[in-house]
Amino acid sequence: MAAPYQMSGFPSAQGIFPPMNVPSKRKLASTDDTIANPDTSNLKRTRIGPLGFENGLPDAFPGSLPPEYAQNGYGLQIDGQSDRDIEGVDGDGDGDTEENKEGEEEGEDEEAKDEGPPRSKRHTVAREEEEKGIIKFETVVNDGDRRSMIILTGLKNIFQKQLPKMPKEYIARLVYDRNHVGMAIVRDGLKVVGGITYRPFVQRKFAEIVFCAISSTEQVKGYGALLMSHLKDFVRPQGMVHFLTYADNYAIGYFKKQGFTTEITLDRSVWVGYIKDYEGGTLMQCTMLDKVEYLKMFEILDIQKQAVLDKIKQTTRSHIVYPGLTIFKSGQVMEIDPMSIPGVREAGWSMDMETMPRRQPPAPRGPLWAAMSQLTNDLKKHNQAWPFLEPVAGVADYYEIIKEPMDLRTLGTKVDEGAYETMEEYARDVQKIFDNCKQYNEPSTPYVKCANALERFFQQRFKQKRQEVGR
């Protein structure tokens, strides 16, 4: 699962955030108040809990990487440490001290006592791990905070590994860009195992999903579906009700399962010129429903399904299961009243139905049918039979000229229905195929040549079959 797939036209990059003239990326309109000249004086870090911001998502973020984070290849140096070397920080960002561990274990025990809502049958491994606190879903922006930078770097590394055809510099540029937001799946402290980078257009009520990937070692656990559900429930209260994304061929299936479609209903004036265009990608859209809490989607569907089944039970008896008969266990042959069998009377059966006429079994097929059927199949398999396999269609005057049309499909149907009593009757219909072709087409056409070749083949095989049948 990865989106998008590939971009073209990149010049050689120098560093993480060089100016890049990407032909396939349209210029953003400077009049959009969510992205142009943002006022960053009041911007502050307001993250709370594993998901969300205290006062919602700011309309814009400062647009460059702080100078204290120096470039280190494709990564970062944070307080002298490489992004690939930062370990030992727990989920609270305060280190794995014994005191912290004890406090967390006590908190987990208290949470385990809460029963919570009834579990859906489709509860995934990801949901179970989230409930146990093994994984967390965190939203993160480039706010200059140490923890934020570690998570963003983890997202960058995941995307660069899972999207090998995407330029690494381009991925880093967007992940760290402060107009973009990341939602990461975090486990074991600060280990990022998957996530999404998206760009919110709050005033235009949609968000662009730029990257989406799960670590190859953590797939088939339901992380991707749960991640998308978290994202939907997070952005919807902020007024964004649409997602747009460019998906590659491998990601289309995933996005369709998450409610995306290739039918774009959002007006072009809303998004053209604002989202990034990718060569070879498929544009997909998802429109969220106001009354659906996507993290409880399976529970909602289970309730709806049960409501339908309960309604069906009010009008049918198909759900009632009767016990089996025990009268035959003795091994003795005895006669019983059919109406005494549980469920027979309730099903509406009566003794009159036993005397109703039944469908007659099909008449046995003899050697005549076998010969005609074999001969028809041989004609269909001939390499010159292609013009005659189906009835003629799309020719305006054909049925004005040809009064008795015939083709191999119609011929086979008549054979199966027992329409021919003799081989001669069968041969007359076969001959109509060739005669009609020669009547309608010029002798030099490929159709007539096919008819002549197939006619010679039929005459030889017909003589053999007629001798075998004897009539």
> In the prediction, which pLDDT does 6 show?
35
Residue 260, in any domain of the structure = yes
Q: Name the CA radius of gyration of the chain, rounded.
A: 36
7 with 24: CB under 8 angstroms?
Answer: yes
Are residues 407 and 269 part of one domain? no
Are residues 236 and 134 part of one domain? yes
Residue 236, in any domain of the structure = yes
Compute φ and ψ for 396, nearest 5 degrees: -60, -50
Are residues 151 and 277 part of one domain? yes
Q: In whole angstroms, give the CA distance from residue 339 to residue 23.
A: 80
Are residues 235 and 91 part of one domain? yes
Q: In whole angstroms, give the CA distance from residue 151 to residue 232.
A: 20
Residue 180, in any domain of the structure = yes
Residue type, 76: L
- How many helices (H) and strands (E) the chain has is answered by 13, 10
Residue 129, H or E segment: helix 125-131
> In the prediction, which pLDDT does 160 show?
94
C-alpha distances (whole Å) from 63 to each of 66, 141, 157, 400 are: 9, 11, 21, 74
Q: Which of 269, 300, 331 is the last residue of a domain?
A: 300
Per-residue pLDDT of the chain in tens (471 residues, 90 and over written 9): 444 433 333 333 323 333 333 334 333 333 343 333 334 343 333 333 333 333 333 333 333 333 333 333 333 333 333 443 333 333 333 334 333 333 434 344 444 344 444 555 455 788 889 989 999 999 999 999 999 999 999 999 999 999 888 899 999 999 999 999 999 999 988 899 999 999 999 999 999 999 999 998 888 888 999 999 999 999 999 999 999 999 887 888 889 999 999 999 999 999 999 998 888 888 999 999 988 899 988 888 899 999 999 998 888 877 788 888 887 787 777 788 888 888 888 778 887 777 766 666 666 778 889 999 999 999 999 999 999 999 998 787 899 999 999 999 999 999 999 899 899 999 999 999 999 999 999 999 989 999 999 999 999 999 988 888 765
Residue 312, in any domain of the structure = no
Which domain CATH number covers 272?
3.40.630.30
Compute φ and ψ for 98, nearest 5 degrees: -60, -40
Are residues 294 and 413 part of one domain? no
Q: In whole angstroms, give the CA distance from residue 182 to residue 188.
A: 19
Compute φ and ψ for 380, nearest 5 degrees: -65, -35
Q: In whole angstroms, give the CA distance from residue 146 to residue 286.
A: 33
Residue 191, H or E segment: strand 191-201
Are residues 406 and 282 part of one domain? no
Are residues 395 and 291 part of one domain? no
Enter the pTM of the model.
Answer: 0.48
Are residues 371 and 286 part of one domain? no
User: What string of DSSP letters covers 306-344?
Assistant: HHHHHHHHHH--TT--PPPP-GGGG-------GGGSTTT
Which residues is 192 bridged to in the sheet? 186
Residue 431, in any domain of the structure = yes
Which domain CATH number covers 407?
1.20.920.10
Two tokens at 7?
């971009």
Residue 350, in any domain of the structure = no
Compute φ and ψ for 75, nearest 5 degrees: -115, -150
Residue 315, in any domain of the structure = no
CB atoms < 10 A from the CB of 348, how many? 8
Are residues 124 and 40 part of one domain? yes
Residue 411, H or E segment: helix 408-416
Are residues 285 and 178 part of one domain? yes
Catalytic residues: 208
Q: Which of 300, 331, 348 is the last residue of a domain?
A: 300
Q: Which of 268, 300, 332 is the last residue of a domain?
A: 300
Q: In whole angstroms, give the CA distance from residue 35 to residue 173.
A: 16
Are residues 184 and 288 part of one domain? yes
Two tokens at 183?
């939602």
Residue 334, in any domain of the structure = no
84 with 78: CB under 8 angstroms?
Answer: no
Q: How many domains does the chain have?
A: 2
Residue type, 195: G
**Domain encompassing residue 383:** 367-469
Are residues 378 and 274 part of one domain? no
